[in-house]
Chains A and B, each alone.
Chain A
Amino acid sequence: MSSLILVVSAILVIFMIVGAVVTIHARDLLVAIIASAIVDLVLAVLFYILQAPDVAITQASIMGGLTTAIFLVVIKKTERYEQ
C-alpha cells in the first residue's frame, strides 16, 4: 500500500472522528442522524480503500440508506429535540 493511500485513509478517519463528536453533542436529533450518516458513508469509502468492496456495498446500503430512514421514522413518531 503506497503512502498516498495511507494519507487519504488518515484524512478519512479524521472525518469519521469529527462526525462522531458532532453526533454525540448535537441537541437536535435530526442533526445527529445526518452526522451519523456522514460517518457511515465515509466508513464505506474506507472499506473500499482497504480492498473490501463487498463490505463497502453492504455498509453503504444498510447503514447509509436503511438505518437513516428507520431513525427518521422514529423521530417522526416521537420528538425531534432532546430535552
Chain B
Amino acid sequence: MSWIIAIAIIVLGVVLTLIRAMLGPTAADRMVAVDSMTTITTALLVLLALYFKRYIYLDIALVYAVLAFVATLAVARYMEGGL
C-alpha cells in the first residue's frame, strides 16, 4: 500500500509538469517544465530500483540525471544565441 501512495504522488508530479510542458506559452516555460520533469523522473527511477530490489538500477538513475541535463543545456545555449 505504501508503494502505491509513493509512486502515485511522484506520477502526479510528472503529470503536472507535463501539462505545463504541453500548454506553456513560450519555449522557456516548456524547457523549465521538462527540466523539472527529469528531476522528478529520477526520483521515480530510484523508487523503482527499491521496488524491484535490484540495486544496480541506481546507476541508471545516475546516468539519466547526467544525460537529461545535456538537452536542457543545449536548448538554453540556443535561446541565448550561442551554440
* A and B are interacting partners: yes
**A40-83 interface mask toward B, CB cutoff 8 Å, 1 = contact, 0 = none?**
01101100110101001100110011101100110110000000
Q: Which residues of A contact B83 (CB under 8 A)?
A: 72-73, 76
Which secondary structure dominates where chain B touches chain A? helix
Q: Which residues of A contact B63 (CB under 8 A)?
A: 57, 60-61
Q: Which residues of B contact A76 (CB under 8 A)?
A: 78, 83
Q: Which residues of A contact B71 (CB under 8 A)?
A: 37, 41, 64-65, 68-69
Please measure, in the bound complex, the distance between the C-alpha atom of A53 and the C-alpha atom of B11, giving whole angstroms: 20
Nearest B residue (CB) for A71: B74
> Number of contacting residues on B, CB 8 A?
35
- Whole-angstrom distance from the CB of B63 to the nearest CB of chain A? 5
Q: Which residues of B contact A66 (CB under 8 A)?
A: 70
Task: Please name 10 further chain A to chain B contacts, defined as beta carbons within 8 Å, in addition to the given A68-B71, A72-B77, sorted by A numbering.
Answer: A15-B14, A15-B18, A18-B22, A35-B21, A45-B45, A64-B67, A65-B71, A68-B70, A69-B74, A75-B78
A-B contact pairs, 21 of them (CB 8 A): A4-B4, A15-B18, A22-B22, A28-B27, A30-B27, A33-B75, A34-B27, A35-B21, A37-B34, A37-B71, A41-B37, A53-B57, A53-B59, A53-B60, A60-B63, A60-B67, A61-B63, A69-B70, A72-B83, A73-B83, A76-B78
Which residues from chain B sit less than 8 Å from chain A, CB to CB? 3-4, 7, 11, 14-15, 18, 21-22, 27, 30-31, 34, 37-38, 41, 44-45, 48, 52, 56-57, 59-60, 63-64, 67-68, 70-71, 74-75, 77-78, 83
